[in-house]
Amino acid sequence: MQKQLPYELLDPKVINQADKLGICARFIVEGYMAGEHKSPYRGFAIEFAQHREYSPGDDIRHLDWKVLGKTDRYYVKQYEQETNFIAYVLLDGSESMKYGSGQLTKLDYGKIMAACLSYLILLQRDAVALGIFDSSLKHYIPRSDNRSALVNILNQLVNYNPDGKTNIATVLHNMALQIIKKGIVILISDLFDDENKILEGIQHLRFCGNEVIVFHTMDPYELEFPFRGLVEFKGLEQIPKILTRPNEIRKSYLNELQSFINRIREGCEKNQCHYILVNTGQPLNEVLSGYLAFRAKTTTRVSR
């Protein structure tokens, strides 16, 4: 793919469709601005959430007098606070992402996806941070809710060239430690690494209270393995060459791949993460809007 201009990363179709859906945090994130997202911190904000039995030490200002008058019991009102969220977009920039059977490599696709997501997040006045990594975090743009930050993000994405091996787990662990303000961690990667370690990293992020969305980007050829004849596969990331007849091992390959995907998917579900298998052959708008629609349905309160 030819060198892109920063704004070329923003796919108008994606933006158009995704904008309507918005980015809905699946969980109530901790926000520093009263925004469109539920805050996990219950207090005395606008939206009533639930009653809780009074316990000594509670502020008596939150006693529900009406309930006390009717039932002679002490209940405290709890409210939900709408807050803004922080999205940490982590893009896998390892060499394996350089593969692409069509015009777009997985990395190109990931870059566009990251740009679009960043734009959408900034558009709804949420904060976004971008990290590009291979075996470590190579580039990191701190969180910002300023739309001008988009320029930086786009420039970073456009100028990035992959050259290293993947070590996703380390990056995820580091991110879990690094993130102070909980948010949504969006991981865009082919996940060609030890899946157990990746899942440990995700678990770490989840443990720290982050929501994790995994966009598992795979090239259609990787998903279908349509090669015929004798093919020499030259591995990216310094893996030795393999000469074989692909059609004779297709089933075995697809089985291996499927079991890998299944393990990742199951691990994600176990950690209550969204896992989206992204076929880079599909248009991004379909992928993203499909996910956002799904997300909108599954969140507890649909955004406006």
Q: Which residues bind another protein (CB under 8 A)?
A: 95-99, 106, 190, 192, 219, 222, 227, 229-237, 239, 242-245, 247-253, 256-257, 260
To the nearest whole angstrom, how small is the minimum distance from the Cβ of residue 288 to another protein? 22
Number of C-beta neighbours around residue 243 at 10 A: 8
Q: How many residues does the chain have?
A: 304
To the nearest whole angstrom, how small is the minimum distance from the Cβ of residue 239 to another protein? 4
* Between 74 and 225, CB nearer to another protein: 225
The letter for the amino acid at 224 is E
- Alpha-helical regions (H) of 26-132: 65-71, 106-123
* Between 241 and 297, CB nearer to another protein: 241
- Residue 285 CA to residue 110 CA, distance in Å, equals 13
Token duo for residue 236: 């990216």
Number of C-beta neighbours around residue 180 at 10 A: 9
* Between 142 and 226, CB nearer to another protein: 226
* Between 45 and 257, CB nearer to another protein: 257
Tell me which DSSP letter residue 300 carries: S
Q: Which of 37, 42, 16 is nearest to 26 (CA)?
A: 37
To the nearest whole angstrom, how small is the minimum distance from the Cβ of residue 238 to another protein? 10
* Between 11 and 95, CB nearer to another protein: 95
To the nearest whole angstrom, how small is the minimum distance from the Cβ of residue 256 to another protein? 4
To the nearest whole angstrom, how small is the minimum distance from the Cβ of residue 83 to another protein? 39
